[in-house]
Amino acid sequence: HETSPTTVQPASNHRPNACCFCWCCCCSCSWNEDRERAWRASRETKLETIPNCEACAKPSPEEVRGWAQSFDKLMKSPAGRNVFREFLRTEYSEENMLFWLACEELKNECNKHTIDEKARMIYEDYISILSPKEVSLDSRVREVINRKMQEPSSHTFDDAQLQIYTLMHRDSYPRFLNSAIYKSLLQSVSRSSSES
């Protein structure tokens, strides 16, 4: 079942009775079933395109201590995001950070074709109820996204991104600050700075 995602996408003109959003899995038409099979086959390939970690320099002790002062400081630091993402992985909620990062990447995109492509990939990976990496969003935000997906833009997921950011801030961040991951990093950077 080696299937390339670029070769299996049916042309839209093969859908005589097209319904609202076939690409978003809200119906059971045969075009959607074909697409779902192709999507499942390409799932592993898509996730490989997400970098394991952001490239960043080793954080200073001041920077690491600063992450405890504010969630914004943590999220603005590539090293902070990497450590927080490692923590989220232990809580099985890494998709929240991956979704947030994908939205940030989409916001920096200008090419209309690339925006469409990335928006659909984000939808399939994080919004679709069929996705194993679906993020937790309320119904109002989902409705807004479904409307915006008719003409995706670089800001299609802004409401959802804010909701996930808030969820990470309120829910995961306090636990992160008390986690062994954060405490051992804090100790290690403090120790290495006192040695030098």
Tokens of 33: 């079933």
Class of the CATH-defined domain 61-195: mainly alpha
What does the angle CA 106 – CA 107 – CA 112 come to, to the nearest 5 degrees?
65
What is the distance of C-alpha 60 from the center of its chain?
A: 27
Give me the tens of pLDDT residue by residue for the chain, a chain 196 residues long: 444 444 444 444 443 444 444 344 444 444 445 444 444 444 433 333 344 566 667 899 999 999 999 999 999 999 999 999 999 999 999 999 999 999 999 999 999 999 999 999 999 999 999 999 999 999 999 999 999 999 999 999 999 999 999 999 999 999 999 999 999 999 998 887 776 6
Is this structure's pTM higher than 0.85? no
